[in-house]
Each structure stands twice: as structure tokens, then as C-alpha cells.
Structure 1
Amino acid sequence: LYLLVTTTLRLSPAARRQKTVGEITNLMAIDTEVFQNMTAQLFTFWSTPYQIIFALVFLYFTLGHSSVPGILIMTISIPINISCSIVNKKWQMRQMKLKDERIKMISEVLNGIKVVKLYAW
């Protein structure tokens, strides 16, 4: 978090021309949250397969052959979850573009207010 903020604040004028204020603000606000959440989920990434295998084996030993339909339903639901995730990602990308535009417009309005106050119109 600290590294991203300090790097963003030290951007050269050429680098600032490549990105809009909205994109830079989104990088600072949203992407830092993604990195924070990612560090918290590292344990989950490697432990989840073991938990699933343990749960399925335990379910089979507890219920016997009756657990097979449940396991099949869970297996069939994996492609459905993947397709829902793809659609969700597309919506999030669209939302990010709209946020960039909104922040850019707000920044322009605030800069206009600063100019008006500076010249005391």
C-alpha cells in the first residue's frame, strides 16, 4: 500500500499524461484493496483443495453411495460458477471504466472551481 501510494505521488509529468486522474485514483483506491485482500486469501488458495477432498471423503464415508448424487451436483456446478465469474468480471470492468469517467469529471469540476476561486471571479 505504502509503495503504491508513494510511487503514484512521484509520477513524472509524462507518466501523468498517459493516465487520467480517474485511472490514477482508481489504482490507488481499488487496486490497493485487491492486494490487501489477496494477501489475506493466500492461505485459502492452497488449503481449499485439501478441504474439498477431505469433505468429499468424509461425506462418502458418512453417507456411503448416497453421497454420489451430491458430489455429481457439486461437480456439475463448477462450469456454471466459472461462467458466472466471467460475466461478473465483464460487469466489473465496465463499472471501472464508468468510475474512471466519473472521477475524471469530478476532478475537472473541482479544478474549475479552483480556477474561479484563484481569479476571484
Structure 2
Amino acid sequence: MAGLKGLRGFQRFDIRGFLAGKQLLLMGMEDLRDHESRKIIGARLKTIIWTDDTIYSKDGLNNEGSELNVKIEGLDAQVVDRNNRSFIKLRNPSATIYGDFQNMLSVKADGFDYVDDKKNGEK
């Protein structure tokens, strides 16, 4: 049987469910560039999953300490305080799974907000 094409376009990832119970710590950012033109189109946030209280379908899973990069088009990396190591909450996040073992995550967001770490981002 020949492999089917275009399947990835139908795959959905529940990024809101994945981020529930997690604290994201902003560690830094860099310019996000268009692959073809190399023009700056936004910023790439470098975050660490600081805490992970997410309930997974398999016991023993935890992503605490893992890096999670987030692409935000239109954000100027130069205007964000690079020394502000704070917890953040993503605005309107979306994500796609990729990689040979489907264990890589490409995350995009419309922006981010700093949050109170004691409240875990809840208002």
C-alpha cells in the first residue's frame, strides 16, 4: 500500500490542554527570521517548563525542566526586557507535532503576558 500524502494538515494538537498545569519561565529571546528572505519577522521566546502538574495518560510522565521555544510574529525582540526572568502565559497559542518520533513541538502564539507565579497565571 502506498503512503498517503497531506496527513499532517489534519492532525490537531491540544496546546491549551498541554499547557494546563504548567508554568513557563521566560529565559530569553532572539529574532525570528523568515527562512527564505532571512528578514526579521518577529521573536522566538526561549522558555523552560518550570513546573508540570499536568495529568498525562501514562503515569510517570513529566516535562518539568524541558525547553519550549515559542514563535511570535510581529514581536520586536529588542523591546522586551531580556533581564526579566518571569513566568509568562501565551496569548492564543497553537502548536504542531513533528519529528521522526512525533516528539517535537512547534509552538506559535499571538503574544504573551507576564503572570504572578504564586497564582500560576490564573487571575
TM-score by length of 1: 0.19
TM-score by length of 2: 0.18
Bigger relative contact order (CA 8 A; separation at least 6): 1
- Of Structure 1 and Structure 2, the greater helix share is in 1
